[in-house]
Amino acid sequence: MTNDAELDLSRVDLERVPRHIGLILDGNGRWANKRGLPRTAGHLAGEEALFDVIQGGLALGVGWLTAFTFSTENWDRSPEEVEFLMWFNEDLLTRRRDELHAQGIRMAFSGDFNDSRVPERNRRHMAEAAELTADNTAMTVVFAFNYGSRAELVQAARLLAEDTLAGRIVPDSIDAQALRDRFWLPDMPDVDLVIRSSGERRLSNFLLWQSAYAEFSFPGILWPDFDRHALVDAVVDYQHRDRRFGGAVDAVDG
C-alpha cells in the first residue's frame, strides 16, 4: 500500500544512514487472510511494497538493501505456494529488472543455487539480471533467495576444507575473513539494521553472521502495507540507538 506523500527526510541524519539494511518481508499471508484472499494475493501485493522501499533506500542513500524473498525453510510450505513463489520471484526479475537497471541499481543474489529444487529458469534469470546490472553503483539490492545463514556457513566451511586439503590455505591462517570470502556474496558488508515486518521478532536464519552487530526493528506492519515512509521511520529510530560494537558506554563525568 504505497502512500504518495512526499518522503520526509527532515528527521534523518543523512550522514549516518545505515550502509546495509536487511529486510525480512513478513506478513503477506496474514494480509491476504484478513481480506479473505488466498495467501498468494499477499505475495503479489508485497511487490509494490518492496519496490517502494527500494525507492526509499535510494532517496536515503542506503548502499545495500537485502530482501529475504525465499528461505531455505520455505520449501516446507504447500507445493502450490512454493510453486507460486518460484514463479513470482522469476517473473518479477524479468518484469522489473530494466527499471532497476535504469536507476543504476546493481541486482545481486544470495542463496543456494546448487539446490536442484531451484528451477533452471530462476537460475538463468538471476544470472542475467546480475550480469546486466553488475557495474551499477547507485545501490545494491540483494535478493536473498533460497537463502539460509546456516547453509551459507556450512558451504563456506566445506570450501575451506577443500582449500585446506588442496593446500591452498593452511589451518593457522583461517580467520573470519577467510570464512567470509567463501560466502555466497563475499563483498556483502555487515548489516547495520534488520527490519522484520508484521510484528514477529525473529531472525529466522537470515544473515546470522552479517548481523552480529546489527540493530533491529520490528514494526507491526504487514509487509504489503510497508512502504518508504515506514523505512524512514525505522532509520530514524536506528539513528537514536547507541552502537558500541562491544565497546564501553562513554564515560560520564561525576
In whole angstroms, give the CA distance from residue 55 to residue 143: 16
3-state secondary structure at position 206: coil
- For position 26 contacting Mg ion by CB under 5 A, the verdict is yes
> Applying CB under 5 A, which part among 19-27, 35-43, 76-84, 185-193 lies near Mg ion?
19-27
Q: Which is nearer to Mg ion, 18 or 22 (CB)?
A: 22
In whole angstroms, give the CA distance from residue 39 to residue 57: 27
Q: Which is nearer to ligand IPE, 70 or 184 (CB)?
A: 70
> Could you identify the residue written with the cell 502495507?
225
Residue 109 contact among ligand IPE, Mg ion, none, beta carbon within 5 to 8 Å by kind: none
Active-site entry in 4, 8, 33, 74: 74
**3-class SS string, 88-136:** HHHHHHHHHHHHHHHCCEEEEEECCCCCCCCCHHHHHHHHHHHHHCCCC
Whether 28 sits among the annotated catalytic residues: the reply is no
Whether 74 sits among the annotated catalytic residues: the reply is yes
Please list the residues that pair with 22 across neighbouring strands.
Answer: 66, 194
Residue 140 CB, nearest distance to ligand IPE (Å)?
Answer: 19
Residue 147 CB, nearest distance to ligand IPE (Å)?
Answer: 10
> Applying CB under 5 A, which part among 23-31, 41-49, 97-105, 216-224 lies near Mg ion?
23-31
